[in-house]
Structure 1
Amino acid sequence: MSMRVVRVRAGDDGVAAHRLREGIAAIRAEMELTADFPPEVDTAAERAAAEPRLPDLDRTDLPFVTLDPAGAQDLDQALHLERRGEGYLVHYAIADVAAFVTPGDPVDAEANRRGETLYGADSKIPLHPRAISEDAGSLLPDQVRPALLWTMELDATGEGTSVHVERALVRSRAQLTYDQVQAALDDGTADEVFTLLGEVGRLRLAREAARGGISLPLPEQEIDVRGVRWHLEFRSLHPVEEWNAQISLLTGMAAASLMVDAKVGLLRTLPPADPRDVRRLRRTARSLGIDWPRDQDYPAFIRGLDPVRPRHAAMVVACTRLLRGSGYAGFEGELPEQTEHSAIAAEYAHVTAPLRRLVDRYAGEVCVALCAGTEVPSWVTERLPDLPGLMQSSRQRANRYENAIVNLVEAATLEPHLGESFPGVVVEVDPEDQTRGEVSLAEPAVEARVSGSTPLPLGEEVIVRLVTADPATRAVGFELA
């Protein structure tokens, strides 16, 4: 399954850790991927990092902070919130990659080839050289950095009432982790900016529910590789992570509004969910023992899931199937046929992660020009027809990489249990060979191939035996017991 984040829990340098590194290296070799950049790209990046194009506007007076997973160095976003009458004022600084990258230069060409940063099990293959992505372009604490500064006013209900984006110099005061901030919120010692983040986050989640949107509270899988055996479990998101994500969604929706009004830009799109996928998810819910009333639609069902509970966490992961079919639409002068992102239930654009995703640099540039009342640069408009296909290819590559690592982890976790039997539910049957399909297990929470000597009973509870769990091939397979 795609869209799943696997993180390694700190451990020793034993057999399991060594096997994980070897497995990831094998995946990279198979897919012909490398984290290294050609020498001319590194040289161009180092030169650009030393001589960035800096804006005149100085907003280093704003006390920004960054909020990211522990150990992150490619910091795209910094935030500051304050009250404004009965509503709120949100300042959101986004790393200005265009301050370092010139259209057509070696860094730009390589970024267009890569498309996005690839992540998996605490390893990554970056979009930009580290001289930019983890140093000069990153919104690291106590450093003056060029940024695209989004200023958004919200009313008392959390609805956006105005938006403006411009280039500015900013300075983050602190680099904080989700664990740190959540702990401070829980014990009452958090800075006011995070109290306000909680208020705005809850309001935005309520507005999302009212318009029929969903935010998948996708849990991370944590793998403990200490010793010989691998242990895999889910880690649910902190509330502050969901609130922080709502600020990014707010910005993406504001960007989309600017571009749709001007009929030029790049949207992130998703068609309505396929009813067949919804029916499959109902079978998955049954396999996990989760009640899904027949008269309840899937957005309401998903909002009722509690990722702290392992079976619910597995259900959230399975719901990523509803995100299949997402894409991008570049346009100039005429709106595309599909403008809405059905999971968000609104028009939406990617603009908040330019260090890690190519399309954000282009969409951000469109919004800056629109707010300044200037022409969108030709280097942007010339690429609008090609970027959707490029990003689709890079997302497919990222999915293959992420899925390969998830499959590696699951195969290694299940390997000691070869021959054992597990209860599950058949969630899919191959229409051309009904003796083959997929089974969903509750414990461990995996979906995998299953086969039988007779047609598989779609949607029925079954007992399956683990017959394949091979980390070398990353294959997992069951047969009806």
Structure 2
Amino acid sequence: MPRHGTRVTDEESGPLRGALRALRERTGAPAAFPPAAQAEAERAARRRPRLPPHDATWLPLFTLDPPGARELERALHLARRPGGGYRVHCAVADVAAFVSPGGALDAETHRRAVAVPYPDARVPLHPRVLGEDAASLLPDHDRPALLWELDLASDGTVVRAGLRRALVRSHARLDPAGVQRALDTGTAEEPLVLLRETGLLLRELERARGGISLPVPVQEVVRRGDRYLPEYRTPPPAEEWGDRIAVLTQTTAAGLMLAAGTGVLRTLPALPAAGPLATLRRTARALGVTWPDTMPYPVMLRALTPAHPQHAAFLQRCAGLLRRAHYTVFDRERPARLPAPADPVHAAVAAPYAHCTAPLRRLADRYALELCLAAASGRDAPEWVRSALAGLPGEMAAGAARAAEAERACAALVDAALLRDRVGEIFDAHVVDVLPGRPTAGTVHLRDPAVRGPVEGDPAGPPLPLGHRLRVRLAEADPGRADVRFAPA
């Protein structure tokens, strides 16, 4: 379930960068870790962790991350199986080898729960000495990891799954664009050819079960003279194929935990026709995206072209629907308190699904991996894992709320930057929401630039035409001082 946000290419002294720094200070985004947690992380990084008995450093794993990334959480290798099918190895960073349950660092990661990305920086879940160094699967370094071994049939379905702790070594640090060039020019080695081959198979399996993929492009805000302009960068297909291996691992993990009776899943109910989906339809109309009433949501998404600016903006709005997902925990030893889930499915994946491939950025992944390891080996889960399960959904929800608020505030800053020199101008817009009980106030969406913002008319005036065009005047737009605000023209 890949998601891409907004990046800012403004120089350090630029007004947008300054507004983003001020936003982090104003909202109390933690710039540093408490001294005890930082010290604990530094001690863990200095000492050599207890190494797992299984040595898999011979396996030529590779990471697939954007250039400059330091939190390298998973490494892959793909090979053909004798007789047909594929063998996929997915190594995931073993955070539990560095973070002691009940310690100061453990407490701080429970408080943060998730890393919070900003367009120009990231507030990490772990101190950088761990997340970007000692626990990261950096190339040419031996690292403890949770190593998945998945055997796939020739159609991409899983026929066998194994998981164990192992010592691994990433042999190559690759970026999606470079992998795509190698595939396009025919110079790619077999593991990368198989990445494409299995990625295409997994895409078809997802479509067959009714799943939804969001090829969300990256919005880059670039400065041209005194103006900020939006540009969209579509990730290469190689990035999607790597993400599909992650989703394959995550659905396999969910199956393991459900069979064992103890786990933590990421669940999402089906989209209702009203509410968010209705708003999304109005947003599509505002952006000029074709969505016939009879066309199902997944089919419409597959018809979009991420390189098209309006389609790209619409895909970013669609990604917001994933915030409806939540964590569901269950424990066969505590059925009264943590019962088995009535509906374990994630609607966008169209299958049970668990976060377990990003433990450097999400707290829940560390626990899901331990539960999967116990299930795969036929052992009971450690008590430090089981005792934390009941509190995980609340902690993750609080962390997600902070991340969502940061995302909303950053989006407001970016929209204000895009329109900061156009206050007073008249725009064609579409009304996508009306406030309950206030028919003259709501939200409008522009087509170009693809900005949305509140609009409020005279309380004694006509109601906003929900779902229809409306001429509006930009009343305010000043990044860091005033968010975008419109008035009926």
The alignment's C-alpha RMSD in Å is 1.5
Seen in structure 2, the aligned counterparts of structure 1 residues 12 and 124 have a Cα distance that, compared at 3 Å, is closer
- Which residue of 2 is the match for residue 151 of structure 1? 149
Aligned equivalents of 1:133 and 1:397: distance in 2?
Answer: 20
Q: Which residue of 2 aligns with 1:64?
A: 61
Q: Which residue of 1 aligns with 2:335?
A: none
Q: Which residue of 2 aligns with 1:41?
A: 37
- Do 1:70 and 1:177's aligned partners in 2 also have CA atoms closer than 8 Å? yes
Match of 1:338 among 326, 339, 343: 343
Question: SS at the partner of 1:390?
Answer: helix
3-state DSSP class of the match of 1:352? coil
Shift of 1:33: 1.5
Cross-structure match for 2:6: 6
Q: Is the 8 A contact 2:287 2:310 kept in 1?
A: yes
SS at match of 1:150: strand
Greater displacement, 316-325 / 389-398? 316-325
- CA offsets 1:390-437 (integer angstroms, 9 cap, x no match): 100000001111221121111111101111222221111112101111
Q: What CA distance in whole angstroms lies between the structure 1 residues aligned with 2:50 and 2:223?
A: 44
Q: Matches of 1:266 and 1:412 in 2, distance apart?
A: 40
Structure 1 residues 21-170: aligned runs within 5 Å? 21-51=17-47, 52-84=49-81, 85-170=83-168
The aligned residue for residue 301 of structure 1 is 300
Show the counterpart of 1:461: 469
SS of 1:416 mapped into structure 2: coil
TM-score (norm 2): 0.94
Moved more, 445-454 or 362-371: 445-454
Give the partner amino acid of 1:312.
H
Q: What SS does the corresponding residue of 1:361 show, helix, strand or coil?
A: helix
Counterpart of 1:448 (choices 437, 447, 453) is: 453
- Whether the 8 Å CA contact 1:82–1:89 is kept in 2: the answer is yes
Counterpart Cα distance in 2 of 1:97 and 1:386: 19
Q: Which residue of 1 aligns with 2:488?
A: 480
Shift of 1:275: 1.7
- Partners of 1:221 and 1:244 lie apart in 2 by 21
1:20 is aligned to 2:39: no
SS in 1 for 2:280: helix
Give yes or no for contact 2:416–2:479 (8 Å, CA) kept in 1. Answer: yes
Instruction: Determine helix, strand or coil for the equivalent of 1:216.
Output: coil
Aligned in 2, Cα 1:39/1:368: closer, same or farther, shift over 3 Å?
Answer: same
- Of stretches 398-407 and 185-194 in structure 1, the one that deviates more from structure 2 is 185-194
TM-score when scaled to structure 1? 0.96
Q: What is the CA-CA distance between 1:438 and the residue it aligns to?
A: 1.1
CA positional deviation for 1:477: 1.3
> Can you list the C-alpha shifts for 1:313-360, whole angstroms capped at 9, x where unaligned?
111112124324210011101412331111111100000000111000
Question: Is 2:428 the partner of 1:423?
Answer: yes
- Report the equivalent of 2:238: 240
Q: Residue 37 of structure 1 aligns to which amino acid in structure 2?
A: F
Partner residue in 1 for 2:399 = 394
Q: Bigger shift: 405-414 or 18-27?
A: 18-27
Residue number in structure 2 paired with 1:212? 210
| Contact 2:476-2:482 within 8 A present in 1 as well | no
2: CA distance, partners of 1:64 / 1:120: 30
**For residue 375 of structure 1, what is the aligned residue in structure 2?**
380
- Tell me which residue corresponds to 1:178: 176
- 1:183 counterpart letter in structure 2: R
Q: What is the identity percentage for the equivalent residue pairs of Structure 1 and Structure 2?
A: 48
Separation in 1, partners of 2:325, 2:481: 29
Secondary structure of the residue aligned to 2:299 is: helix
Q: Indicate the SS of the match to 2:324.
A: coil
Deviations along 1:24-51, one digit per CA (max 9) or x if unpaired, are 2221222211221122212111111122
Report the alpha carbon displacement of residue 237 of structure 1 after superposing the two structures with TM: 2.0
* Cα offsets for 1:184-215 (capped at 9, x unmatched): 22222222222111111111111111111101
> Are the equivalent residues in 2 in contact too, given 1:12–1:226 (CA < 8 A)?
no
Q: Distance in 2 between matches of 1:167 and 1:12?
A: 43
Give the distance between the partners of 2:149 and 2:215, measured in 1 at CA: 26
C-alpha contact (below 8 Å) 1:407/1:474 kept by paired residues: no
Q: What is the letter of the counterpart of residue 319 of structure 2?
A: T
- SS of 1:479 mapped into structure 2: strand
Question: Which ranges in structure 1 are unaligned for 5 or more consecutive residues?
Answer: none
Structure 1 residue 18: Cα displacement: 3.0
Distance 2:297 2:267 in 1: 19
2:205 counterpart SS class: helix
Q: Is the 8 A contact 1:35 1:124 kept in 2?
A: no
Residue 226 of structure 1 and its aligned partner are, at CA, apart by: 6.3
Structure 2, unaligned stretches of length 5 or more?
333-338
One-letter amino acid of the structure 1 residue matched with residue 19 of structure 2: G
Poorly superposed stretches of 4+, deviation over 6 Å: none
Match among 251, 259, 271 for residue 269 of structure 2: 271
Q: Which residue of structure 2 aligns with residue 196 of structure 1?
A: 194
| Superposed CA offset, 1:250-294 (max 9, x none) | 011000000011110100011111322222222222222222122
What secondary structure, in the 3-state scheme, does the structure 2 residue paired with 1:94 have?
strand
How many angstroms apart in 1 are the aligned matches of 2:288 and 2:40?
55
Q: CA deviation at 1:472?
A: 2.0
